[in-house]
Structure 1
Amino acid sequence: MHKIFTSCALAALLLAAAWADHSHHADHTDHSQDGEHKCHKLSAANADFSFALYKNLNSKTAAGKNIFYSPLGISTALSMLSTGAKGETHSQLFSTLGYSAHNQAEVNEAYEHLLHVLDHSQQEQQLVVGNAAAVRSGCNPLEQFLKDIKHYYSAEIFNVNFNNPADAAAEINRYIAAKTQDKIKDQVKDLSPDMAMVLINYVFFRGQWEKPFDKNMTTKADFHVDDTTTVQVDMMKRTGRYDFYEDIDNHTSVIMLPYKSNTSMMIVLPDEGKMSEVEGYINKDYLKHWHDSLFRSSVDLFMPKFSISSEAALDNTLRELGITNAFGNNADFSGITEEVKLKVSKVSHQAMLSVDETGTEAAAATTIEIMPMRMPEMMKLDRPFLVFILEHGTRSILFMGKINNPTAA
């Protein structure tokens, strides 16, 4: 049976040995939290960070190229790193992530809760968010750091011989591939023999549409990458009841495609010629406005099948967003180890997204809908569009990006 799946892995934060002076120490107090879910305390900050990442990555992406990444994965990895950061290094991480109103204990507890909720949202979908630390053989991280990343981030910890960089990279890549069902391969490259640790985060999602497409309705169609480039795609078609909103003031059409789970794909289609304008203003408030404005409507939906992948070195992006000390000789990761001065040498991210029709007879019952007697709306994804995969229970943006060219692998 064909699956619709979205899968992504973020790896890795590579911490190599560096000489540095460290004199600052952050004071973190532990506060108990009650009331709203702990993980919801970070959802607004994580959404702001998601869009800051998007705008920076978009400015570095060539015209016609796809963008796709996991904001949740990147935030989780940086939060895990922050458990071992001190002083200004810690302050910059928290400021960039939007966590300045919280202390490390609150952030740790929020991620503990978030990962627990995601781990228990497995009905009819696969959603795996995991963390790991590949530690240099003979290196002795502080017991408190290891305890914290195990307890709050469910991190697996294993030893690697970085003296043989090729073997070390192969071992880490096998680990990541196994966790992402071989969707993310060769993530780690060009390791240094001086490496102290690689922090790994991976996010894997596979879901089936609640309302699958009929393969017999899929036909060849044009997709207009830009004014001068048109490509042929396999265009799926489905007429059905969807949550839909046409935002005339902001030049967009929005549709929500639910998976058989607590997860949905939101697609934002800017009007022709309006993608740059939409990218200029988009933020979490617009996302909430569109979400709250959706109305159940009859829609003729045309959507291309596609399978894309995206790789990005995030070092410069994170520096430009305000995380500078972590990469310099003044980095303070004395909360990880006091044996050697550490700095972040590399942050790399790889993600992939594949979308097609689902199901045969197993999902057929879900295709029967009562349609009102009126002309349906039409949403034809035949030009670049924005995509968000949202997990509703934790209010998390699992993945987001821009599909400029569905045929570009």
Structure 2
Amino acid sequence: MMDLRVVLTLISLSSFLHTFQTQESKTPDVTDLSFRNMDFAMNLYRRISRHHDNNIVFSPLSVSVSLATLLLAAGGSTRAQIAGGLNLASLDDDDDELIPQLFQDLLSNISLIQQNTALFVDHRFDLEQVFRNQVKRFFGADIISVEFGKTDVSRDVINDYISRKTGGKVREMVKSVEPLTQMMLINTVFFKGDWQRPFDPNSTEAGRFYVDKYNIVQAPLMFAEDKFFTTVDSDVGARVLRLPYRGGASLLIVLPDPSVDYTAIEDELTADRIFRWMKNLKPVKMEVHVPKFQLEQRYDMRELLPHLGISSVFLDSANLTGLSKDVGVKVSQVMHTAVMDVDETGTTAASVTSAGITTYSLPATFRVDRPFFFFLYHEASHSLLFMGRVIDPTQNSQ
């Protein structure tokens, strides 16, 4: 039996989106892909959130790109499950290359991030030439020959690659290598963004952050007074704030009302709702208090993906004949690591409606002092790059 190990490495930094399209084009395009991928992201988020009550950060883009790469090699029910789990089944009916072509178009439009795909292939593994050509063509993949039998050497080669591609944010993604591994698929996403209007570090003060009814922590709260785009969603009981970065990226913060449990909003997260928040944003002069936070999370996607209908790829019966004609090729592991760092200058992580200015005699206040959600999205492509929640900004990992 031959195992194919797949590793997804994700580093989140920041991204921004604000316009959207409510009707699907007759011919699927990047906007359609991004909308569908956002609903996939919400489904994946809910699966992650059911495992614990801690902070969450992950990159829907990196997970999707890695699965789309496998789609090039998959057939039969294995392919159908991957496309269905990604919420892209309707795009996979007639043209096998439509989905990878759309991802290629998407990635070429997102210049704010450094995205890399790499295949580490055992020197004895017979990788199909068609697959080699396709992953290079659509995803610009690096194909690197290693000798997995030399476990320590191959591990170090892979970790060095990941560290270089993530600006040193992820140094030891791969803890160990099984000598029978035939291939590792690595996808990294890295972005470093500066706020359009940086926070003054001298204005950052310790403040109370209400983790829940019984737990209060002291967290460094950044402060700024300016015109910010904001909206209110009274249906779910939440306020929304957009913090822009330079170069077309923004961080969207969704703050549940004090009387609303954040878990109730999780069930309402959809692409439609998030796009509606974007549409309804209006500029308001206000005081903003936002906690600094550092997040690092690691997920075993093999535990999560079957809940989204993607299970065949892990079984002995997996159809990955496009990858190799060898019998019994399957995915043995899918790991995802995400890192995010938000401070006064901007964000480092390893993802506008025109209106009149509303002013008040005293500025309105947006104080983020309780659990909140964040979404990082790209304006031109409408693509959600990173998302998560902050339950306790003083805790950086689980």
One fold, TM greater than 0.5?
A: yes
Alignment correspondent of 1:283? 270
Alignment correspondent of 1:114? 106
Alignment correspondent of 1:45? 36
The reply to whether residue 386 of structure 1 matches residue 373 of structure 2 is yes
- Residue 317 of structure 1: how far off its partner (Å): 0.6
Alignment correspondent of 1:18? none
State the TM-score, normalizing by the size of structure 2.
0.87
Write out aligned runs for 1:200-349 (5 A). 200-272=186-258, 273-349=260-336
Partners of 1:207 and 1:260 within 8 A in 2? yes
Alignment correspondent of 1:87? 76
The reply to whether residue 74 of structure 1 matches residue 63 of structure 2 is yes
| 2:48 paired residue among 29, 32, 57 | 57
- CA distance in 2 between counterparts of 1:41 and 1:148 reads 22
Identity of aligned residues (%): 31
Alignment correspondent of 2:340? 353
1:56 is paired with a residue of what secondary structure? helix
Q: In structure 2, what residue type is equivalent to 1:240? A: D
Alignment correspondent of 1:147? 133
2:79 is paired with a residue of what secondary structure? helix
Partners of 1:38 and 1:109 within 8 A in 2? no
Alignment correspondent of 1:399? 386
- Residue 291 of structure 1: how far off its partner (Å): 0.9
2:90 is paired with a residue of what secondary structure? coil
- CA distance in 2 between counterparts of 1:132 and 1:60 reads 29
State the TM-score, normalizing by the size of structure 1.
0.85
Per mean C-alpha deviation after superposition, the further-off stretch among 47-56 and 131-140 is 131-140
1:241 is paired with a residue of what secondary structure? strand
Per mean C-alpha deviation after superposition, the further-off stretch among 255-264 and 184-193 is 184-193
| Structure 1 unpaired stretches of 5+ | 1-10, 15-33, 360-369
- Residue 35 of structure 1: how far off its partner (Å): 8.1
Q: In structure 1, what residue type is equivalent to 2:57? A: F
Alignment correspondent of 1:97? 86
- Residue 55 of structure 1: how far off its partner (Å): 0.4
Q: Matched residue pairs, number?
A: 362
- Residue 278 of structure 1: how far off its partner (Å): 0.6
Change (3 A) 1:155 1:378: same
- Residue 128 of structure 1: how far off its partner (Å): 0.7
- CA distance in 1 between counterparts of 2:217 and 2:204 reads 16
- CA distance in 1 between counterparts of 2:8 and 2:271 reads 26
- Residue 379 of structure 1: how far off its partner (Å): 0.9
| Structure 2 unpaired stretches of 5+ | 1-5, 10-24, 347-356
Deviations 1:174-231 (A, max 9, x none): 1011000000121112321111111111110100001111111111111111122111
Partners of 1:13 and 1:344 within 8 A in 2? no
- CA distance in 2 between counterparts of 1:162 and 1:109 reads 31
Q: In structure 2, what residue type is equivalent to 1:290? A: W
- CA distance in 2 between counterparts of 1:35 and 1:189 reads 46
Per mean C-alpha deviation after superposition, the further-off stretch among 174-183 and 35-44 is 35-44
2:40 is paired with a residue of what secondary structure? helix
Partners of 2:8 and 2:188 within 8 A in 1? no
- Residue 321 of structure 1: how far off its partner (Å): 0.9
- Residue 13 of structure 1: how far off its partner (Å): 5.3
Q: In structure 2, what residue type is equivalent to 1:390? A: Y
Deviations 1:59-83 (A, max 9, x none): 012x2x1100000110010000110
- Residue 280 of structure 1: how far off its partner (Å): 1.6
| 1:136 paired residue among 122, 125, 148 | 122
- Residue 237 of structure 1: how far off its partner (Å): 0.5
- CA distance in 2 between counterparts of 1:147 and 1:377 reads 55
2:50 is paired with a residue of what secondary structure? helix
Partners of 1:69 and 1:350 within 8 A in 2? yes
- CA distance in 1 between counterparts of 2:343 and 2:251 reads 13
